[in-house]
Amino acid sequence: MPESGTAPPSAFGRHLPMNGEDSKVRVLAVEVEDAPNMLTKVSGAIRRRGFHVRGISVGPSRQPGRFRITLHVDHGHAEADQVRKQLERLVEVVEVVDLTGDDVHSRELVVARVTASELEALIKRGAKVISTAADGTTVEFSGEREDVGEFVDELHRHGIVDVARSGPVVLKRA
């Protein structure tokens, strides 16, 4: 991992600020009701309080009619706990759990098409081949944010045709 201040090999791979800046990022699991305006309300609350989204994923929650949003949010000049408190004010938000600093399972997913013929290095890192075609091989990889970042760096060395990367999903360890 590069030291703070040096340019990372790929901005895409390291989309989260590192080191000192990282301490301003909160990790939140937000349970919301499935309403047409839900994302507008959540993103609006984040924007107007001067916070900044560093990573987001949205998926159905265990409970029908609800979604779970996993957020990495920079709290800017506000007190760290303001992110949770401001989101909790929204009527659409059922619960906010702040997982920052907790012992968690955290995963991001990357799906990429690479030109490389030799995939061994990627497979050794844990990549799975999804399909092979004339214009490249499609692989997937999931792991912690840093591992995904390093994997993407590795991909760059192999020649990426296309790549898609998800936001984080985080689950508290039992």
Partner 1 sequence: MILEALEREGVEYIFGYPGGANLPIYQHLREHPKLKHILVRHEQGAAHMADGYARACGRPGVVFATSGPGALNLVTGLCTAYMDSVPMVAITGQVVSTQVGRDAFQESDVIGATSSVTKHSYQVTKIDQLPRVIHEAFHIATTGRPGPVLIDICKDVQQADAERVSPERPPAARRADFFQIPGYKLNGHVDLDGAARAARALSEAERPVILAGHGVILSHAESQLQELAETAAVPVGTTLLGIGAFPVKHPLSLHMTGFMGTGWNIKAVQNSDVLMMVGMRIDDRVTAKLAGFAPNVKTFIHIDIDGSEMGKNVRPHIELVADAKQALAAITPHVGKIQPDRGKWLAQIDAWREEHPLRYKRSNGRLQPQDVLIDMYRRAKSEAIVVADVGQNQIWAALWWNYDRPGLFINSGGAGTMGFALPAALGAKFARPDLPVWCVAGEGGFVMTAQELSVAVEHQLDVKIVLLNNFSLGMVRQFQDDFYGGVRSQVDLTHMPDFVKLSEAYGMPARRVERFEDIAAAFDAAEKTKGPFLIDFRIDPEANVYPIVPLGKSLNEFWEAPDA
Residues that bind partner 1 (CB under 8 A): 32-33, 36-37, 40-41, 44, 48, 78-79, 81-82, 85-86, 88-95
- What minimum distance in Å lies between the beta carbon of 41 and partner 1? 6
Residue with tokens 């000192």: 20
Q: Pick between residue 25 and residue 87 the one whose CB is nearest to partner 1.
A: 87
Rounded to whole angstroms, how far apart are CA atoms 17 and 74? 9
Q: Pick between residue 32 and residue 148 the one whose CB is nearest to partner 1.
A: 32
Q: Pick between residue 76 and residue 126 the one whose CB is nearest to partner 1.
A: 76
**Helix (H), strand (E), coil (C) string for 130-151:** EEEECCEEEEEEEECHHHHHHH
- What minimum distance in Å lies between the beta carbon of 35 and partner 1? 9
Rounded to whole angstroms, how far apart are CA atoms 171 and 174? 9
Q: Buried b / exposed e across 10-33, counting CB within 10 Å, b at 16+? A: eebbbbbbbeeeeebbbbbbbbbe
* DSSP letter (8 states) at residue 7: P
Q: Pick between residue 56 and residue 90 the one whose CB is nearest to partner 1.
A: 90
- What minimum distance in Å lies between the beta carbon of 58 and partner 1? 16
- What minimum distance in Å lies between the beta carbon of 89 and partner 1? 6
